[in-house]
């Protein structure tokens, strides 16, 4: 569709461009539409230079780096906010005080495109469920667009491709869902996968907590209940925007892991049809290529969404059984002398690494982990590490916490050394698992850069 009239001649302040390509794509699209774009970012220009270089052809894009200037938020027609910017920041307050709309790429796309939107959120599993749904819709011969929190994809630029026949599948993180909340819209089909503590550097641990929920006396229920400890109420509130504005004709699909807390906090406010799913809702005769019970859980959520779209189960089965996974999420990189090597770089929380370990035999797993601390509860993972054949650590603030419990673990300040040490430690029949459990800050540009470097090193083994 030609949506250029929404932006032509407008002065747009794009706040935080990032390095993953999404902000670059947004800026390029707005410039092509004839907008005057001012990119502002509080990061140093030398860090953001790759994004600047990617946009050098556009004369109607200007850049400012370093401390924000409030004038840039009171003299524009729109602020397009990037991820991680607090809604209560002085800059956003200045824009709102002056009646300037503050939007984000995903909710703006949903509003302008007018097509049905499937939104997927959750602490873990949202990427896999999103890509599974995309695969199912493609198998069903639907016209489908993939966007949201997808590496290198500008959701706003999808307006160039969209037609009335399209369905959009959007992976939505808590920040993008802030935009949906501000716009007071929700996707037509919402999928909420899991809920664990995360992004504590953004969502203060001092903010409202969700109370522990005791479901029953089973060990499984105790595990689920403990998962809610330490979660910021604001983190859940942001994610809840995925269903807060749904209509009775819409559908909400909740993973069983987070169903109890969502029902307790929002049950009387949910108007849409609600479905709870877990791995047991996936027929046990369906055999997935990707390992782990958590991937069957994700597939069950994707199947529930497909059924809400009246897609036949045989189509979903064919798509799910042929689904080979998402890069950086338990990605089988290669097999070397009988040792399978997996890249799980997007495991930035202890729960994610626990899920990865559960897919293999810990006694035959050489684990590479470590990185920047996110101040999350590590207890369950630390106990599991005692079962792992060998733990190899990358230096970082989080790594120090692991060393207190696994003092004989090897520590490297170089990924290449860690990979080669893992290769030496693994024997035929073992698995080398790169599942960091921490953020990538310090040693890498981001988690994707971390995964790319890992894959390149593995190919050279």
Q: Flag whether 1 is in a domain.
A: no
Q: How many CB atoms lie within 10 A of CB 427?
A: 12
pTM of the model: 0.88
CB 103 within 8 A of CB 6: no
- Are 337 and 299 part of one and the same domain? no
Answer whether residue 14 shows pLDDT above 90. Answer: yes
Count of structural domains, the chain: 3
Question: How much is the pLDDT for 225?
Answer: 44
How far apart are alpha carbons 329 and 368 in whole angstroms?
Answer: 14
Question: How much is the pLDDT for 221?
Answer: 41
The residue with greater pLDDT, 165 or 175, is 165
Q: What is the CATH number of the domain that holds 65?
A: 3.40.50.720
Question: How much is the pLDDT for 124?
Answer: 92
| Secondary structure class of 330 (helix, strand, coil) | coil
Mean model confidence pLDDT for the chain:
91
The residue with greater pLDDT, 197 or 38, is 38
Which residues, including other chains, have CB under 8 Å from residue 46's CB and lie 6 or more apart?
A: none
Q: Which residue has the tokens 């959750």?
A: 122
Confidence of residue 204 (pLDDT cuts 50, 70, 90): low
Phi, psi angles (nearest 5°) of residue 75 = -120, 20
- Are 155 and 194 part of one and the same domain? yes
- Are 62 and 167 part of one and the same domain? no
How far apart are alpha carbons 437 and 352 in whole angstroms?
Answer: 7
Angle of CA points 442, 446, 447, to nearest 5°: 110
How far apart are alpha carbons 353 and 350 in whole angstroms?
Answer: 5
How far apart are alpha carbons 425 and 417 in whole angstroms?
Answer: 12
- Are 316 and 351 part of one and the same domain? no
How far apart are alpha carbons 33 and 14 in whole angstroms?
Answer: 15
How far apart are alpha carbons 296 and 288 in whole angstroms?
Answer: 8
- Are 415 and 300 part of one and the same domain? no
| 359-381: pLDDT as tens digits | 999 999 999 999 999 888 899 99
How far apart are alpha carbons 318 and 321 in whole angstroms?
Answer: 5
Answer whether residue 146 shows pLDDT above 90. Answer: yes
Burial environment of residue 33 by CB neighbours within 10 A (0 to 12, 13 to 18, 19 or more): buried
How far apart are alpha carbons 227 and 195 in whole angstroms?
Answer: 8
How far apart are alpha carbons 180 and 38 in whole angstroms?
Answer: 23
Tell me whether strands 431-434 and 365-369 are parallel, antiparallel or unpaired: parallel
- Going from the C-alpha of 362 to that of each of 109, 229, 335, 385, 391, the distances in angstroms are 44, 26, 18, 8, 10
Q: Final residue of a domain: which of 51, 83, 102?
A: 102
CB 446 within 8 A of CB 411: no
How far apart are alpha carbons 108 and 22 in whole angstroms?
Answer: 14
Q: Flag whether 2 is in a domain.
A: no
Residues in the chain, total: 461
- Are 273 and 134 part of one and the same domain? yes
- Going from the C-alpha of 408 to that of each of 45, 351, 419, the distances in angstroms are 41, 23, 17
- Are 97 and 163 part of one and the same domain? no
Tell me whether strands 144-148 and 167-171 are parallel, antiparallel or unpaired: parallel
Q: Final residue of a domain: which of 45, 78, 102?
A: 102
CB 253 within 8 A of CB 275: yes
How far apart are alpha carbons 216 and 213 in whole angstroms?
Answer: 9
- Are 166 and 314 part of one and the same domain? yes
Q: What is the CATH number of the domain that holds 231?
A: 3.40.1190.10
Q: Flag whether 3 is in a domain.
A: no
Q: Final residue of a domain: which of 322, 346, 364?
A: 322
* Domain boundaries, position 38: 8-102
| 32-66: pLDDT as tens digits | 999 999 999 999 999 999 999 999 999 999 999 99
- Are 250 and 210 part of one and the same domain? yes
Confidence of residue 222 (pLDDT cuts 50, 70, 90): very low
> What stretches of 228-371 show up as alpha helix (H) in DSSP?
233-239, 241-244, 256-266, 293-308, 313-322, 350-358
- Are 227 and 148 part of one and the same domain? yes
Question: How much is the pLDDT for 207?
Answer: 42
- Are 44 and 133 part of one and the same domain? no
Answer whether residue 297 shows pLDDT above 80. Answer: yes
- Are 68 and 48 part of one and the same domain? yes
Which residues, including other chains, have CB under 8 Å from residue 126's CB and lie 6 or more apart?
A: 120, 149, 171, 172, 173, 191, 193
The rounded percent of the chain whose pLDDT value lies above 70 is: 93
Tell me whether strands 331-336 and 339-343 are parallel, antiparallel or unpaired: antiparallel
Q: How many CA atoms lie within 13 A of 312 on its CB side?
A: 6
Tokens representing 146 are: 């993939």
């Amino acid at each position: 569709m030609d949506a250029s009239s929404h932006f032509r001649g407008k002065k747009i302040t794009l706040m935080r461009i990032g390095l993953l390509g999404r902000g670059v794509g947004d800026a390029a699209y707005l410039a092509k539409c004839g907008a005057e774009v001012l990119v502002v970012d509080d990061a140093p220009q030398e860090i953001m230079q790759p994004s600047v270089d990617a946009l050098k052809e556009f004369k109607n894009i200007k850049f400012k780096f370093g401390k924000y200037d409030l004038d840039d938020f009171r003299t524009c027609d729109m602020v397009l906010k990037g991820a991680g910017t607090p809604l209560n920041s002085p800059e956003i307050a200045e824009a709102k005080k002056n009646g300037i709309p503050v939007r984000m790429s995903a909710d703006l796309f949903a509003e302008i495109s007018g097509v049905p939107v499937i939104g997927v959120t959750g602490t873990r599993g949202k990427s896999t469920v999103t890509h599974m749904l995309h695969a199912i819709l493609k198998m069903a011969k639907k016209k489908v667009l993939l966007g949201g929190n997808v590496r290198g994809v500008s959701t706003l630029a999808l307006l160039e491709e969209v037609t009335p026949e399209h369905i959009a599948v959007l992976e939505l993180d808590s920040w993008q869902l802030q935009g949906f909340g501000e716009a007071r819209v929700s996707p037509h089909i919402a999928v909420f996968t899991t809920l664990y503590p995360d992004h504590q550097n953004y969502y203060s641990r001092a903010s409202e907590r969700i109370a522990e929920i005791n479901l029953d006396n089973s060990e499984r229920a105790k595990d689920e209940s403990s998962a809610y400890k330490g979660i910021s109420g604001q983190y859940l509130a942001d994610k809840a925007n995925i269903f807060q504005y749904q209509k009775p004709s819409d559908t909400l699909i909740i993973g069983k892991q987070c169903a109890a807390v969502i029902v307790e906090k929002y049950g009387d406010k949910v108007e849409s049809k609600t479905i709870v799913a877990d791995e047991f809702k996936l027929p046990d005769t369906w055999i997935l290529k990707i390992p782990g019970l958590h991937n069957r859980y994700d597939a069950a959520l994707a199947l529930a969404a497909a059924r809400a779209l009246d897609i036949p189960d045989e189509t979903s089965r064919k798509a799910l059984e042929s689904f080979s996974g998402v890069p950086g999420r338990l990605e089988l990189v290669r097999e070397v002398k009988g040792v399978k090597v997996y890249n799980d770089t997007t495991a930035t929380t202890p729960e994610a690494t626990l899920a990865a370990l559960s897919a293999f035999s810990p006694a035959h797993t050489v684990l590479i982990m470590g990185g920047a601390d996110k101040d999350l509860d590590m207890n369950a993972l630390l106990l599991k590490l005692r079962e792992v054949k060998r733990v190899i650590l990358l230096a970082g603030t989080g790594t120090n916490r692991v060393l207190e419990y696994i003092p004989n673990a090897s520590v490297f300040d170089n990924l290449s050394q860690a990979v080669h040490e893992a290769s030496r430690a693994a024997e035929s029949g073992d698995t080398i698992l790169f599942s960091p459990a921490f953020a990538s800050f310090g040693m890498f540009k981001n988690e994707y850069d971390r995964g790319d470097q890992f894959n390149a090193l593995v190919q050279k083994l």
